[in-house]
Structure 1
Amino acid sequence: MKKINFSVNSWVFGPISFEELAKRAKRIGLDGLELDGEPDTIDLVHMKKVLKETGLKAISVCGTFSMEERSFSHSDEMMRRNAIEYGKKLVDMALYMETDRILLVPSMVNRLTYYVDRQTDWNHSVESIREVAEYAKENNIKVMLECVNKYEVNLVYSANDGKQMAEEIGTGNVGLVTDTFHMNLEEKDGIANAIRSAGKEFIMHQHLGDNNREVPGMGCMNWKEIFMALRDIDFEGAVSFEPLPNRLTPEEISAGMLDPDELEQNMTKSIKMLNFIMELM
């Protein structure tokens, strides 16, 4: 199996400094970081300097889509315009941080009702993301749509949903971020079959979380089967840990309720387990 780069989403450790995050990532044995997509508030010069000093890669830039002014599917044209401009800022951040991909969520996170109806909201999202993707294509950046379970978003749940939207956007540089936790809830034929069905053409990145949303190995998912499926599609992207330990919410993690030492220890054990699985394949 080809070497897979391991990373972690930078928000997962909570309100620690970027230097501390980078040091923990190196101790765990990660290759890089998924960067929090807040270019208006983050010191990008400092972030790039820390990555260079630690030898970590910028794996991707991950947008945050839990506010209405970043909703691609919004019924209000001005809100959609705000979302499009934010998406373009993520492209600019990716260029500066020397990564070739950004993550978008097609609809607002934690909004389960439609602005109009499913088809209208879907069309708004396609049109809005298409403009971001065209700008990204001009700059050789890939756009990754994250497939999130139906209890958190209202449009793109499964890999098939993501494939459909990527095809309708039609720019040729749009693929998917699949997430094992969300897939466990949404993929009726199982995670491995969904990976094989979507294939290398669409799956650009893989998030990792066990069935209980802990790090891999702390739940009951079949990780050998999942990584065999990634091998079977000749997966060339990266995989990123994105757990919510101890049933904490993202808001609680951001407020500092997570024990970063415990997470570091669990993630270190997890990456050793996953590397062992890949060595046996």
Structure 2
Amino acid sequence: MKSCITISLVEEARGGPFVLWDGLEKSIAFAAELGYDAVEIFAADFAGGPESIDAAALKSMLDNAGLKCAAFGTGAGWVKHKLQLADPDAGRRSTARDFVRTIIDFAGQFGASAIIGSMQGPSGHTGDLETARGYLCEALQDGGAHAVQYGVPLIYEPLNRYETRQCCTVAQGVSMLESLATDNVRLLCDLFHMNIEESSIADALITGGKHVGHIHFVDSNRRPVGLGHMQFGPIIAALRKIGYDGYLCAEAFPFPDPHEAARQTMRAYRYWTGT
């Protein structure tokens, strides 16, 4: 298992569960200094706008630091543009899928996956859930098929009941993925959400099995690992049992500050993985 840390470039998300916030160059350099293997980036724009990332510059930064890019989040589609893949309006759904494709295309240059989290909708508790789930499945099929050309999967994240009515547990996520026409979608298992929804996080990871494609490595209170009450021994054992060799990525509140949160996560990663 490899180490990873989140970098947010979206000002509207400040205060959210992302560890590093000081821009790409400083954040990548700091992650490398601490010994991380990769970064996960939450960015505002991938389509050439004023907030777009320069791909060549990012490649240079990563190469100089000896880091990989594990994944790119799509959440700015919701945070900035209020796009969701289960929007009742067909035009808005199409725009949301197009936004996701731009991220898949950008991420593909780095051998990285795009993550579908907050864009999955619906976050409210009204409306036709079956229809919304159908729209989400259509979008995942589209995105998973689009990502095949880059040799990477699309990543889907079940969220807790307070953030979505789509899939809230790993078992629900597995059931949905197995219903898709594509086999190129994997699950992101976020330990914070799992702490709310699963009776046993370890058992849920075993249920996820081959479908588990990414882990958000965070404690029960969404602070860095070691600052809550989660029991990580059974979690790491379960990941080893299913043969997981992907990233353990810190998506946590930058508590007490970004640099110490990054250091604490690396200490915890080394302790639990024995590296």
Runs of 4+ in 1 over 3 A off after TM superposition: 106-110
Q: 2:46: which partner in 1?
A: 39
Alignment equivalent of 2:208, drawn from 188, 192, 198: 198
Q: 2:91: which partner in 1?
A: 78
What does residue range 61-100 of structure 1 map to in structure 2 within 5 Å?
61-64=72-75, 65-67=77-79, 69-99=82-112
Residue ranges of structure 1 left out of the alignment (5+ in a row) = 247-257
| Preserved contact between residue 20 and residue 254 of structure 2 (Cα < 8 Å) | no
Q: Distance in 2 between matches of 1:140 and 1:267?
A: 29
Residue ranges of structure 2 left out of the alignment (5+ in a row) = 9-17
Alignment equivalent of 2:245, drawn from 220, 236, 240: 236
Q: CA 1:275/1:216 → structure 2, altered by over 3 Å: closer, same or farther?
A: same
Q: Distance in 2 between matches of 1:264 and 1:236?
A: 21
Q: CA 1:6/1:155 → structure 2, altered by over 3 Å: closer, same or farther?
A: same
Q: CA offset at residue 161 of structure 1?
A: 1.6
Instruction: Count the aligned residue pairs.
Output: 259
Q: CA offset at residue 14 of structure 1?
A: 4.7
Q: CA offset at residue 138 of structure 1?
A: 3.5
Identity of aligned residues (%): 24
Q: CA offset at residue 49 of structure 1?
A: 0.9
Q: Amino acid of the residue matched to residue 261 of structure 2?
A: L
The TM-score with structure 1 as length reference comes to: 0.85
| Preserved contact between residue 73 and residue 121 of structure 1 (Cα < 8 Å) | yes
1:214 is aligned to 2:220? no
Mean CA deviation greater in 204-213 or 135-144: 135-144
Q: Distance in 1 between matches of 2:259 and 2:21?
A: 13
Q: 1:136: which partner in 2?
A: 147
Q: 1:26: which partner in 2?
A: 32
Alignment equivalent of 1:272, drawn from 247, 270, 273: 270
Q: Amino acid of the residue matched to residue 74 of structure 1?
A: D
Q: CA offset at residue 108 of structure 1?
A: 4.6
Q: Amino acid of the residue matched to residue 244 of structure 1?
A: F
Q: CA offset at residue 165 of structure 1?
A: 1.8
Q: Distance in 2 between matches of 1:51 and 1:82?
A: 30
Q: Distance in 2 between matches of 1:15 and 1:110?
A: 28
| Preserved contact between residue 142 and residue 174 of structure 1 (Cα < 8 Å) | yes
Q: CA 1:245/1:109 → structure 2, altered by over 3 Å: closer, same or farther?
A: farther
